[in-house]
Structure 1
Amino acid sequence: MKTRATSKSDLLLSRAKAGDAQAIEALFSLYQNYVRLLAASQLRAKLRTRVSASDVVQDTFMKAHRGFEEFRGKTGGEFVVWLRSILSRQIQTLYEQHVTVQSRDVRREVSLEEIGKWVDRSSTKLEAVLIGSDPSPGTKLQNHERMLRVADAIAQLSVDHREVLLLRSVEELGYKEIAERMQRSHGAVRMLWLRSIEALRDKLAEDNE
């Protein structure tokens, strides 16, 4: 029976749980781009005008740092799930503070429940996109390691390329909707989408060299 290769995140996590301060910082840094992309994909229009993805990410990591001793997982994959749950609660809290006003309105409770559902859905979609974008499916890297690798590559793209990737791949919007959101023509959005895919592949290819 083959044993699973120990990943970089697993090693950092082990050292961090043993009290290594530098490993803790390195561990959180490893997941920063992934959490930033996830936050950006989950901030719907009603929240974008009130809070930024950077603020959400900062608050998420602050809470994660404070509660790290309570984390009982042993793998990078479990750490991803834990971070995602903290981010999900952050998003729900922000909606409660900024979007839902009438505390006793039944629709408020329904909306918060729906928030939790679409946070989970968008998380799943983003991870599928990140893993599926890796041009080396034969690699021995675990899925979440490949996911982090692609997230780091996307973080190096231009703002427009990142936005069109999220709108098209995660929110699954059509070109017409994306064109309205980005205030561009339909043709310009299609071209931007193709160029963003090409740019991502180039970044990943550079990492493989």
Structure 2
Amino acid sequence: MNETTFAELVRRAKAGDEQALNALLSEFEDDVRLAVRRQLPRVLRTQFDSMDFVQLVWASVFAGEAVDPTRFDNPQHLRAFLTGVAWNKVREEYRRRTRTRKYDIGREEPLYVRRGDREEPREVPSPEPTPSQNLQEIDRMEQLTAGRSGPEAEALRLRSLGLTLEEVAARVGLSERTVRRLIEDSRRRMEQRQWR
């Protein structure tokens, strides 16, 4: 690729010409992928494919406003720049995955564990409430509805299921204001019981 063809392709690609963009991709993609593979640490290879980083590189060069691809003098200049961007993307992700607690690869655990000659699924805590939490909720609801009329008790139960004040009022035949007052009163009663 000579410098005139290169400059024209870059200008057209930045303007949104899909054919020019595809020509640049096919010309430089292997170089970017090789740069990513050379830099990609073993611990990240199970998490990412090299094409993930290649796409990040292309997005930052042609979709971002910070880089003007027309500033590159020749194909070698762009190739060196793309290699540098690829290395930075990999290093940035590696730092994020090894130095931050939230994404720390070392904290990950496999879903299956080996027991003898077979793999069994690891026991994972259920997002559902435990039986004791269910009993506590039932006890709390009984305390809240004790001494209440049928519609008032039903309003509290429906609200605990996540219905809005408007939906609760429509279902039990009370005004929205009454439902709001009922819930506030119940909340105050529960808070007073906690402090005793």
Give the TM-score normalised by structure 1: 0.40
Looking at CA atoms only, which structure, 1 or 2, has the larger radius of gyration? 2
Richer in helix (by share): 1
Give the TM-score normalised by structure 2: 0.42
